[in-house]
Amino acid sequence: PASGLRYAWLVDPPEEPDPEAADTRLRLRHVIDPCARALDSHGAYAWNVRTESKYAPASVIPDFHAMRNFNWEGVESPGLLLKDLVIYEAHVRSFTRHPDSGVEHWDSQAGTFLGLVQKIPHLMRLGVNCVELLPIFEFDETACPRVHPGTKQHLCNYWGYSTVSYCVPMQRYCARMPQKEEHRAARAVAAITDFRTMVRELHRHGIEVILDVVFNHTGEGSWGESNWFSLSAIAESHYYLLSQGYHTNYTGCGNTVNANDPTCAEWIIECLRFWALEMRVDGFRFDLASSLCRGADGQITPDPLFVRRLTNDPLMSHVKLIAEPWDCAWPDGYLVGQFPSGGWVRWAEWNGKFRDTMRRFIKGDEGMTGEFATRLCGSSDLYEESGRGPCHSINFITAHDGFTLRDLVSFHKKNNSANNEESGEDNNHSWNCGQEGPTKNAEVLELRERQMRNLLAALFLSAGTPMMLMGDEYGRSQGGNNNTWCQDELNWFSWEDCAAEEAGLMRFCRLLISLRRMHSDMFAREDFARSIEWTHETWDDPYNFVSFVLRAPRPKEPANSTLTSKLHSSAASDAGGSKVSEDGRSRLSDAGRSGIAGSSAAAGGSGCDPYKATSLLVAFNAGHEAHNCGLPAGSEWYRLMDSHLVAPLDICDSDEDSQ
């Protein structure tokens, strides 16, 4: 009978000698339950609606019977190993909010958890097996005072890195429901039900779910607003890092959570347990995780209480843990390769050095050969000493924060004027291929397409756990904006544009992912760096040329029909698989390209089946001169991928080869 009732914690304010201050503090007495499972607010029903009734949520008692009796239909987590993941970073609203998404029941489900469910076939076709979702905890998207300088429309806190309640799924991401009071109880549990449905259906299709979680700061007091209160009214000094009574700012967002206070650490872990055990997510990516390593004095501690407790929590032993190993305080907050272990080899890291090195090498910065080889081999200089392997390096070239793949090859400078603020990284290691921004120059466009293929090849042919950004499979552009935190439409995935690239970049991307997964025993092996055979070892080469051979550690099993149905080469076919000449060039090692050749004992005169190939030769040439790959003798080699060629010649596809 209590389901749907609003409630609040009643907190006694501290004594204030100043009567006016005391009156102010009295307004803090009714606060949000920091462990609430549901919220309700007049401003919580429709996206970015600005009315006189500001977002001022109250905790709501959900229907616990409905929560306990969700039907998981016997579906379990895929239980994938970290080394086998191919991660797809996505935003729930962006993925299906575009009018061209084709989502059924568009008015109620576009841009929601259920909308994402409808697009699972796209994820499966692409070949990814893990989605990493930008923040999905309840946040206030109206907490943004910016207006678009041209349209004068209100911008919004779009990405969601400003959490209001840590155990409540974002209400505007559930299917839209009536706003009447009598529907409050149903609304309260709808977000939980829709989120669980999404997780269940992703798991049903072999796709894991990682949540991007924001425990480094909260949305409390965001932009100076005071419509709701929670942790600061309960025990401010326990939940926030304070200096002389004021909030510290190691996050760039105005407050920093005191994660290593015992009370706060336990609260964070309780929240994470809810998502892992009751909502069945598979892992967490911790935003600005270095701030979670700061002690009461604000200094980085080598053995932070929170990290140790979470790492050793028996209820969370199955959960994947990924750190964004930096915060906004440099240089001490930059912990790439140095994030505390908590006593076990569990924590993976977003490898920012991989991102920067791959960008610089592919665009032709001189002297990057040795660094490129190190990153390609799993960044052992960063992770080996702590007992971690290549899989603990989350390799990425683009992410939500920064240029998209297409903008990385189209803009030299950021174009963030639409944000109506000075924001975004200035040093992006990007190259516009000769002309800034949009162009009709055919040569520039061709070069940009090739560079995107080269960057994708660098990502998926490296040791480590690859992560790609939503929309990069078709070359989504944000018009050069590299900090779209406050933009709505600019972040949307265009399904028409994706369909237009079905035979182009989309095809190249999915076949490249398939090739990597076919040869997971080569690319995901922990001894990658020691198993590699370099055919060119001039590490101080200023012209950025690398070539090497990978060999299968054991005989191949019979072809997996699911993974091989879309990737196969035939000897000398027009769509790929042509024999590589004995001098080792056959254009694979020409300037400005990357390529793969395959060989197997069974190749003979019939070409090389890329799944059965027991050896792969990979070459990257980001310089201006051709090089000899130095093909090992005794085998026939067949081209599987060549970034210099356009579709369908760029990568082999059995469907096309058979025609």
Q: Tell me if residue 313 is catalytic.
A: no
Q: Which residue is it, tokens 């050095």?
A: 353
In whole angstroms, give the CA distance from residue 227 to residue 402. 31
CA distances from 652 to 228, 560, 608, 611 (A): 57, 17, 11, 12
In whole angstroms, give the CA distance from residue 23 to residue 311. 43
Residue positions counted in the chain = 659
Tally the C-alpha atoms within 13 A of residue 162's C-alpha that lie toward its C-beta: 22
Kindly report the three-state secondary structure assignment for every residue of 211-251.
EEECCCCCCCCHHHCCCCCCHHHHHHHHHECEECCEECCCC
Contacts of 90 (CB under 8 A, 6+ apart): 116, 131, 132, 133, 134, 470
Q: Are 95 and 50 in contact (CB under 8 A)?
A: no
Helix (H, G, I), strand (E, B) or coil at 392: helix
Nearest alpha-carbon partner for 97 in 494, 409, 530: 494
Active-site entry in 324, 371, 609, 636: 324
Q: Tell me if residue 324 is catalytic.
A: yes
CA distances from 600 to 175, 552, 555, 597 (A): 52, 10, 10, 11
Burial (CB count <10 Å: 0-12, 13-18, 19+), residue 476: buried
In whole angstroms, give the CA distance from residue 593 to residue 630. 16
Contacts of 591 (CB under 8 A, 6+ apart): 621, 623, 624, 625, 626
Q: Are 482 and 428 in contact (CB under 8 A)?
A: yes
Max Cα distance, the chain (Å): 92
* DSSP per position, 568-595: ---TTBTTB-PBPPTTS-TTTTSTTEEE
Active-site entry in 138, 261, 282, 287: 287
Catalytic residue numbers, as ranges: 287, 324
